[in-house]
């Protein structure tokens, strides 16, 4: 028999986003640069091995309800927190650029660091994709250093390929990012040379 | 610049399903017919106003960690619990039939009752769709009684339309379900007559 009943869309992710926004039933609060983020231990632990260890690990007080986060801006912390609940990033600032939105390159670098810190591999890959799309001569050395420090192999390979592409090296070595790369990851220079050699330059 | 990095699929729902299965970080346990179901108060409250009232309402002990569920089979309770975490039903028994799988009609009726009890409107609609697809002369009166008792207007209209379709009434009035309907919801008989009248019979 025909049936005209319309079933609404699934809403778990929206319900979790509302729960995060309202802080309903929160049992832990992260304090980041003076701002408080109420959250839910079980969700954090289900989504990240790092949060699981922090909140339920044998070394931690099980009843710890306030967790101070050092070395991170509140606006950066907000993004991985939202990602934990919804698999997406908050609207507005801190979002992963879907195309060559270079203005977002800097927050995305911070976001990648945060994703790595909390073991959010999918978010890290999303950042790698965003940064990969916005590689240019000015930023590639900085991006390469970051990729090296956070073991982003695919982003690193994209950077090496870009630097070794014809006529690019001259512009790249003059950037301040390249100085930073030389200081922070000197062994990567060898990989740039290998890449150039493999391309017959 | 092209980018070959592949980002994995979103995994919030799988992660929540694992959390439910393992009971990790559970802070409430439902006891249903001798079986225990560990769960997470914040997720339940985010997804259902009924659970929210039960677990966080002013009338309840906030620290209640064991909740006894009466008048429900464990196998039935499992389905709405899974739905709360994932917006889908567990595989195997208790699932909503996607086509005319009449063997599942009885558990789906129980599921609809459970969905109504916990205020899970989308699950209730899914049950209505499943039951709507399996309406036949033998079961339509029972389904109509259930639709009436749980305010499922769309399923009720589908049942009325089926009963009033040409040549169907004779078979329906001979079923035991029709006796049950007469006893439990006698006013619906008037609606059947109205339906027949509106179709010019």
Instruction: Retrieve residue A118's tokens.
Output: 């909390």
Percent of chain B residues topping a pLDDT of 90: 78
Q: Supply the CATH number for residue B53's domain.
A: 3.30.710.10
Least Cα separation, residue A41 to chain B (angstroms): 7
- DSSP per position, chain A: ----PPPPPP-HHHHHHHHHHHTTT--EEEEETTEEEEE-HHHHHHH-HHHHHHHHSTTS-TT--EEEE-S--HHHHHHHHHHHHHSS--SSTTPPPSS--GGGHHHHHHHHHHHHHTT-HHHHHHHHHHHHHT--TTTHHHHHHHHHHTT-HHHHHHHHHHHTSTT-HHHHHTSHHHHHHHHH-THHHHHHHHHHHHTT-
Q: State the best of A46, A49, A158, A161 to mutate against chain B, taking most chain B CBs within 10 Å.
A: A46
**B39 is a domain residue:** yes
Under an 8 Å CB criterion, which residues of A touch B?
1, 3-8, 10-13, 15-16, 18-19, 24-27, 40-43, 45-47, 52, 56, 85-88, 121-122, 125-126, 128-129, 132-133, 135, 154-155, 158, 162
Q: Is residue B27 part of a domain?
A: yes
pLDDT at position B60 is: 60
For residue A155, being part of any structural domain is answered with: yes
Domain that includes residue A200, residue range: 135-201
| Residue A197 belongs to some domain of the structure | yes
Whichever domain contains A168, its CATH number is: 1.25.40.420
Which residues of B touch chain A, with CB atoms under 8 Å apart? 1, 3-8, 10-13, 15-16, 18-19, 24-27, 40-43, 45-47, 52, 56, 85-88, 121-122, 125-126, 128-129, 132-133, 135, 154-155, 158, 162
- Residue A150 lies inside a defined structural domain of this protein: yes
- 10 Å Cβ neighbour count for A40? 26
| Residue B111 covered by a domain | no
**pLDDT tens-digit profile, chain A (201 residues):** 567 888 999 999 999 999 999 999 999 999 999 999 999 999 999 999 999 998 987 766 556 789 999 999 999 999 999 999 999 988 754 344 444 444 443 488 999 999 999 999 999 999 999 999 999 999 999 999 999 999 999 999 999 999 999 999 999 999 999 999 999 999 999 999 999 999 887
- Per the structure, the count of domains in chain A is 1
Tell me if A144 is assigned to some domain. yes
Any domain includes A163: yes
Sequence length of chain B is 201
């Amino acid at each position: 028999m025909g049936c005209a009943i319309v079933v609404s869309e699934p809403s778990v992710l929206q319900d979790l986003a509302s729960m995060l926004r309202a802080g309903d039933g929160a049992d832990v609060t992260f304090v980041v640069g003076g701002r408080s983020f109420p959250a839910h231990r079980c969700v954090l632990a289900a989504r990240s091995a790092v949060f699981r260890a922090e909140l339920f690990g044998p070394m931690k007080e099980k009843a710890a309800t306030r967790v101070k986060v050092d070395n991170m801006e509140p606006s950066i912390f907000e993004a991985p927190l939202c990602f934990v609940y919804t698999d997406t990033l908050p609207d507005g600032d801190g979002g992963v650029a879907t195309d060559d939105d270079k203005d977002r390159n800097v927050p995305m670098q911070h976001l990648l660091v945060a994703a790595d810190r909390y073991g959010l591999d999918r978010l890290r890959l999303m950042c790698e994709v965003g940064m990969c799309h916005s590689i240019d001569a000015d930023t590639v050395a900085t991006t390469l250093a970051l990729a090296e420090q956070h073991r982003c192999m695919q982003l690193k390979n994209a950077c090496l390929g870009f630097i070794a592409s014809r006529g690019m090296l001259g512009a790249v070595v003059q950037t301040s990012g390249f100085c930073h790369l030389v200081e922070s990851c000197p062994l990567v220079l060898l990989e740039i040379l290998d890449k150039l050699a493999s391309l017959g330059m």
